[in-house]
Amino acid sequence: MPSGDRTRFHVRLRPPTVPAPPEELDPCDEGPYDHTVLTMIGCSDLAATDAAAEAGGFGAPWHFDVSYDLSAFLEDLDRLLTAFHDRTPYALDLYPQGVERTLTFTFPAPDLVAVHCASRTDWVPSPATEHHPYDRLHSQLTTLARTFATALETAGSRTAAHPPFPAWRAGHFAPTPVTLVHPDDLPRVLAARAPARHHRVGTTGAASLDDLYDAVRRTLPLDPPLHGHSRSWDALDDSLFGGLHADDDRAPLITFTDLSALPPLELRFVHHEFTSLATSLANPAHTRGRPTHVQFLIGRTDA
């Protein structure tokens, strides 16, 4: 594991040299699992090997283990890489006891990343903010993603076959299917992603799931169409799947202009529903070998 400056921000993984004992691996037989659970299981499997993690920054090396501390960082790594792709601010919470700090990444210039550390323990970061070259820090994070995904295979972890890990092993780091973006940043992010097909759903002022449901039904391709006044999210999911799958565009981008008025609990439901829909559409087994890689951008002032 290269050391470099252990007092500047970094997170690294030394991969295992041998597989984990089979009896210590999670069977992964109670899925489906979301990204957070997959990283937790994967890190638990790696902890049964000789893998090791190292992290530090803001004036000091950190105590950082594989099973818990690294897992907390990796839970957010896909969203952090999306923030790097779009150059939008992102706050990553390292919640494990003893670490307990929040890292906020901002992009004051195209070739620069500012990383601010806020500690929730007696430890005081010094300095509290570091500046890193964009390319160097982005490369460090993508190297961590690829090393982790490869380490899962070496360990024999059954999580290795689950998205996004095969893509990470191949060096592909696409934006997450569902991204929250400040409404003012939507035009810039949209231009950066340059979609072939863009669906704009007007949701400014939408304050409930019913409001969002009606906006989707008015705007997006549905197959079969939805009629009547009843609102079923299961039916909407099936209809959206059919409509997007039938469309010629294999990589549509859908933006919701502003869902700031939607309560946080309902936003979490929407995030889960759209993530599940995007995952199903991208699965060749669910689409007769004709996957669609849809992305959702959600305008949100607290993003």
Q: What is the rounded average pLDDT of the residues 62-68?
A: 97
Which tokens belong to 74?
């990796």
pLDDT per position as a tens digit, 279-302: 899 888 889 899 999 999 999 999
Q: State how far the Cα of 84 lies from the Cα of 105, in Å rounded to an integer.
A: 9
Give the pLDDT score at 4. 58
Give the pLDDT score at 32. 73
Q: What is the rounded average pLDDT of the residues 181-202?
A: 92
Task: Find all residues with CB under 8 Å of 109, minimum gap 6, and list them.
Answer: none
Q: What is the rounded average pLDDT of the residues 4-27?
A: 93
Rounded (10°) angle between helices 77-86 and 134-155? 150
Full-model pTM:
0.84
Q: What is the rounded average pLDDT of the residues 161-186?
A: 92
Q: Are 302 and 258 in contact (CB under 8 A)?
A: no
Give the pLDDT score at 192. 87
3-state secondary structure of 295: strand
Q: What is the rounded average pLDDT of the residues 181-194?
A: 92
Q: Are 56 and 9 in contact (CB under 8 A)?
A: yes
* Strand pairing category for 178-181 and 295-299: parallel
Q: What is the rounded average pLDDT of the residues 62-87?
A: 96
Give the pLDDT score at 107. 96
Mean pLDDT, rounded, of the chain:
94
User: In 10 A of CB 273, how many CB atoms?
Assistant: 18
Q: What is the rounded average pLDDT of the residues 246-265?
A: 95
Q: Where are the alpha helices (DSSP H) in the chain?
A: 35-47, 71-75, 77-86, 134-155, 165-169, 186-193, 209-219, 233-246, 264-281
Q: Is the pLDDT of residue 266 over 90?
A: yes
Rounded (10°) angle between helices 209-219 and 233-246? 30
Give the pLDDT score at 179. 94
Q: Residue 178's pLDDT band (boundaries 50, 70, 90)?
A: very high
Q: What is the rounded average pLDDT of the residues 230-255?
A: 94
pLDDT per position as a tens digit, 121-162: 999 999 999 999 999 999 999 999 999 999 999 999 999 998
pLDDT per position as a tens digit, 97-121: 999 999 999 999 999 999 999 999 9
